[in-house]
């Protein structure tokens, strides 16, 4: 087990690349739209197309790699990820660009699902949530470092350079996993999909979608919330998002340790805290409440993921379904918040989030 730390670091580098390619597109939409000859709203399909690729690809691609040992599966998924980003980097038209985005997204859910199981296997049962959090640290750091850096690179040297850089990170992750990860058992047994007959697994997935979707309801509209409601200048958004990202990293670290100590108790406390915090954020959006929201938001990630893995019997399908549930929550939270903005303005987005968090608590009650 001497290589566990470096192997987890290789998983984190890969997760960093995946998180960067998912979120950096928002900062590059104007440049992409101009170069590809489409409108900015049409270019927005590169965001939603990626999200749908994650939701659909997580279970399907996981089935495709389900007979492979975990290390080989991770390497194969990163080949797909690199291919998707290279396709985006060389795309001369919108259709090819969208194809590259979808290819990269197909890797996303399966990699994080398989990677969560690999991290848990390497670390052992007593440190499972902390090992998962170590991998997801790469995902959280991508919001603090990768996205701003990728946007800066794209705005100064062209968006294609950004995608080449992300592809390079994918290659680095592959090299690290190949050299440092120990041999691991095959992913699945013949009964891998039978776990979806378990009601407790579906309750855990619903709790994950509702609980994390609660965060994305206000986060989707964080720019107008912080400028229109909180009174910050548009130029302040960059450092405000960095503060939020630091909160995500801290929350991921704290939530992992709490989940390893007492999983269901941690989930209940976090969902209660999230509900209360969203109501406070609705009344008083500020840098302090934004930071606190970031902490609580990502403290839920290792807890939700560990709960899904536990109820799914440690299967790859269940772990990948957790990633799909997170992304389904993101999409539904953003959609419901958009309806709320139309009806009642930006403050209502936090009310939607609080309602979703209460819904997540209801699923905990059902699971008890």
- For the chain, the structural domain boundaries read 4-180, 194-367
The pLDDT, as a whole number, for residue 2 is 42
363 touches 206 (CB < 8 A): yes
Per the document, the length of the chain is 368
User: Across the chain, what does the average pLDDT equal?
Assistant: 84
Read off the pLDDT of each residue in 117-141 and give the average, rounded to a whole number.
77
271 touches 353 (CB < 8 A): no
Domain 194-367: what homologous superfamily? MFS general substrate transporter like domains (1.20.1250.20)
Question: pLDDT band at 3, cuts 50/70/90?
Answer: low
The pLDDT, as a whole number, for residue 125 is 62
The pLDDT, as a whole number, for residue 169 is 95
Q: Is the pLDDT of residue 183 over 80?
A: no
Residue 283, Cβ density class (10 Å: 0-12 exposed, 13-18 middle, ≥19 buried): exposed
Residues 6 or more apart in contact with residue 192 via CB below 8 angstroms: 66, 315, 316, 317
The rounded Cα 365 to chain-centroid distance in angstroms is 25
- Regarding pTM above 0.75, the answer is no
Q: Among 67, 96, 61, which Cα is nearest to 79's?
A: 61
Residue 347: what are its φ and ψ, rounded to 5°?
-60, -30
Q: Among 117, 132, 67, 131, which Cα is nearest to 316's?
A: 117
Question: pLDDT band at 166, cuts 50/70/90?
Answer: very high
Percent of the chain whose pLDDT exceeds 90: 30
| Fold equal for 4-180 and 194-367 | yes
Read off the pLDDT of each residue in 231-252 and give the average, rounded to a whole number.
82
Taking only the tens place, the pLDDT of each residue in 273-301 is 999 999 999 999 999 999 999 999 889 88
Q: Among 140, 79, 86, 133, which Cα is nearest to 110's?
A: 79
Task: Could you please state the CATH topology (level 3) that the domain comprising 4-180 is classified under.
Answer: Growth Hormone; Chain: A; (1.20.1250)
The pLDDT, as a whole number, for residue 26 is 64
> What single DSSP character describes residue 195?
G
Q: Is the pLDDT of residue 271 over 90?
A: yes
Distance CA 352, CA 358 (A): 10
Q: Which value, in Å, is the radius of gyration of the alpha carbons in the chain?
A: 19
Residues 6 or more apart in contact with residue 352 via CB below 8 angstroms: 217, 218, 333, 336, 337, 340
The rounded Cα 142 to chain-centroid distance in angstroms is 10
Read off the pLDDT of each residue in 142-153 and give the average, rounded to a whole number.
82
Taking only the tens place, the pLDDT of each residue in 319-343 is 777 878 887 887 788 778 888 888 8
DSSP-derived 3-state class of residue 69:
strand
The pLDDT, as a whole number, for residue 281 is 95
Question: pLDDT band at 81, cuts 50/70/90?
Answer: very high
Residue 64, Cβ density class (10 Å: 0-12 exposed, 13-18 middle, ≥19 buried): middle
Q: Is the pLDDT of residue 118 over 90?
A: no
Left, alpha or beta for 182 (phi > 0: left; psi -120 to 50: alpha)? Answer: beta
Q: Give just the sign of the alpha carbon dihedral 22, 173, 316, 249.
A: negative
Taking only the tens place, the pLDDT of each residue in 83-103 is 999 999 999 999 999 999 999
DSSP-derived 3-state class of residue 259:
helix
Q: Is the pLDDT of residue 40 over 70?
A: no
DSSP-derived 3-state class of residue 312:
coil
| Residue at token pair 């039978």 | 194
Percent of the chain whose pLDDT exceeds 70: 90
Q: Could you give the dihedral angle defined by the CA atoms of residues 228, 231, 236 and 242, in that order, rounded to the nearest 10 degrees?
A: -80
Q: Is the pLDDT of residue 304 over 80?
A: yes
Copy the structure tokens of residue 142.
């991508």
Who wins on pLDDT, 330 or 250? 250
5 touches 130 (CB < 8 A): no
DSSP-derived 3-state class of residue 241:
helix
Q: Measure the N-to-C terminal CA separation of the chain; round to a whole number of Å.
A: 35
The pLDDT, as a whole number, for residue 44 is 66
Copy the structure tokens of residue 158.
């062209």
């Amino acid at each position: 087990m001497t290589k566990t730390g470096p192997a987890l670091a290789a998983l984190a580098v890969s997760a960093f690349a995946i998180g960067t390619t998912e979120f950096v597109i928002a900062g590059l939409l104007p440049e992409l739209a101009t170069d590809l000859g489409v409108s900015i709203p049409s270019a927005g399909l590169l965001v939603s197309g990626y999200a749908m690729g994650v939701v659909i690809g997580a279970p399907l691609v996981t089935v495709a790699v389900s007979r492979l040992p975990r290390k080989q599966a991770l390497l194969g998924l990163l080949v797909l990820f690199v291919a998707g980003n290279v396709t985006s980097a060389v795309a001369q038209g919108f259709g090819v660009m969208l194809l590259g985005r979808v290819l990269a997204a197909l890797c996303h859910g399966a990699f994080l699902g398989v990677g969560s199981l690999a991290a848990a296997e390497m670390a052992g049962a007593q440190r499972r949530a902390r090992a998962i959090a170590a991998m997801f640290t790469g995902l959280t750091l991508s919001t603090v470092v990768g996205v701003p850096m990728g946007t800066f690179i794209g705005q100064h040297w062209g968006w294609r350079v950004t995608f080449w850089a992300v592809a390079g990170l994918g290659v680095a992750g592959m090299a690290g996993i190949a050299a440092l990860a120990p041999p691991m058992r095959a992913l699945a047994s013949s009964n891998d999909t039978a776990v979806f007959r378990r009601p407790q697994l579906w309750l855990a997935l619903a709790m994950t979608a509702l609980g994390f979707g609660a965060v994305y309801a206000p986060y989707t509209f964080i720019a107008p919330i912080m400028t229109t409601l909180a009174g910050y200048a548009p130029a302040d958004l960059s450092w405000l998002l960095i503060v939020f990202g630091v909160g995500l990293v801290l929350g991921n670290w704290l939530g992992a340790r709490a989940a390893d100590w007492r999983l269901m108790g941690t989930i209940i406390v976090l969902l209660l805290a999230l509900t209360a915090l969203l109501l406070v954020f609705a009344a008083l959006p500020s840098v302090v409440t934004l930071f606190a929201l970031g902490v609580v938001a990502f403290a839920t990630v290792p807890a939700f993921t560990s709960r899904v893995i536990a109820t799914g019997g440690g299967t790859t399908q269940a772990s990948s379904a957790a990633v799909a549930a997170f992304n389904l929550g993101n999409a539904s939270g953003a959609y419901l918040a958009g309806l709320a903005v139309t009806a009642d303005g930006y403050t209502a987005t936090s009310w939607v989030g609080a309602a979703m968090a209460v819904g997540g608590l209801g699923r905990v009650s059902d699971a008890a």
